[in-house]
Amino acid sequence: MAIGQRQTEAMALYEQLPMPHERQEEWRHTRIDRFDIGKFLPFSAPGIALSGLSGEMRRKGVLFCSMGTALEQHAGMLAQHYLKNVKLDKLNALNAATWKDGIFLYVPKGAKLEAPLSAAVSCGKSVSLHSIIIVDEGAEASYMEEFSAAAGAENETMASCVTEVFVREGGTLHFHHLSSLREKANAFTTIIGDVGEHAAINWNWGCFSGALNRLRIDTLFTGIGSASTSNGVFIGRGKEHIDATTNAYHLTTGTTNDISVNGIMKGSSTAIYRGLIKIAKEAQQTNSFLSNHILKLSENATANSIPALQ
């Protein structure tokens, strides 16, 4: 199905779905039922600055461009992966329907990239972006993305971000995500990683500032012997509300996972961290670990930690 048609369907779904509310477990500590999305519509494209490809990377067939360019030149590849693992709740349906640009990275089979690739994303009043990253069989790459406020974005802003990651058999991706926003920013970020047979994703992430900074990272262990690490940090300094979630879904045998998340809260900032490890019945010989520590440096700061094993 063409991406344009999927976007039309996503908009219809978005209009039907209610806003998340506090009776839902994943929103119990983050209320947005009165959040007015309408005042941020229509979304605009973010400013995206990509690091250049070296001559060697080009010879290896690496593709690194905006989603707009990818739609023109690699539409078939995008259509095969678009929304493959994305659960279309209210906010993800909004993203699927309204994104204006994003980042596309494809690392071909067997390519080993010595230098990291990076993307700097500048967020204005209202931006929506959707990204797809594919690391093919036996390939290895490091990717870094940083989200920051655009110049002059002093008033209330909203950013909707979804990234789909696919690492195929024997591949490795080192993924680094950093969001450092203004005090009136509202950011909703979903990152989903699909880890193939004997492949690995190493997540490193940080959330800093923002009126509401919500990050969810789902790791799907779909291949035998797949592995992942996740090292995250969040810091609240003033009145921020940080909502961070890591979900590890072990779907097959011999998978390994290690998550470490730490936070520092000051001022009257608030934070909620949820960490889920879910092991399917057929996922024998699973090794999965989760560690979370939050340091409160102010009596007015609030933090909640909710680890879960299913």
Nearest to 104, CA basis, from 159, 55, 59, 163: 163
Query: For residue 20, is pLDDT > 70?
Result: yes
Report the C-alpha dihedral over residues 125, 185, 87, 278, rounded to 10 degrees: 160
pLDDT in tens, 66-77: 999 999 999 999
Average pLDDT on 212-219 reads 97
Averaged pLDDT score across all residues of the chain: 94
pLDDT > 70 fraction of the chain, expressed in percent and rounded: 99
Please tell me the predicted confidence (pLDDT) of residue 22: 82
Burial (CB count within 10 angstroms: exposed 0-12, middle 13-18, buried 19+), residue 230:
buried
Nearest to 98, CA basis, from 70, 71, 129: 129
Query: For residue 225, is pLDDT > 80?
Result: yes
CA-CA distance, 266 to 240, in Å (whole number)?
9
- pTM of the full structure: 0.96
Query: For residue 125, is pLDDT > 90?
Result: no
pLDDT in tens, 190-208: 999 999 999 999 999 999 9
Please tell me the predicted confidence (pLDDT) of residue 215: 97
Nearest to 272, CA basis, from 305, 300, 295, 247: 305
**Using an 8 Å Cβ cutoff, are 271 and 239 in contact?**
no
Average pLDDT on 208-227 reads 96
Please tell me the predicted confidence (pLDDT) of residue 151: 66
Report the C-alpha dihedral over residues 236, 220, 31, 19, rounded to 10 degrees: 150
Higher per-residue confidence, 210 vs 77: 77
Task: Assign 153 a pLDDT band (cuts: 50, 70, 90).
Answer: low
Which residues lie closer than 8 Å to 104 by C-beta, 6 or more apart? 63, 64, 65, 66, 67, 69, 70, 74, 78, 131, 132, 133
Query: For residue 134, is pLDDT > 90?
Result: yes
Query: For residue 19, is pLDDT > 70?
Result: yes
Average pLDDT on 254-270 reads 97
Show the CA angle centred on residue 190, arms to residues 189 and 191, nearest 5°: 120
For residue 48, give the amino acid letter: I
Which residues lie closer than 8 Å to 66 by C-beta, 6 or more apart? 48, 50, 101, 102, 103, 104
For the chain, the structural domain boundaries read 3-309
For residue 193, give the amino acid letter: G
Average pLDDT on 44-55 reads 92
* Number of helices and strands in the chain (H, E): 5, 17
pLDDT in tens, 265-306: 999 999 999 999 999 999 999 999 999 999 999 999 999 999
Query: For residue 59, is pLDDT > 90?
Result: yes
**Total residue count of the chain as it appears in this document:** 310
Nearest to 195, CA basis, from 171, 217, 215: 171
DSSP 8-state class, residue 40: G
Please tell me the predicted confidence (pLDDT) of residue 300: 95
Please tell me the predicted confidence (pLDDT) of residue 218: 99
pLDDT in tens, 77-97: 999 999 999 999 999 999 999
Higher per-residue confidence, 233 vs 183: 233
Structure-token match 């680890």, residue found:
307
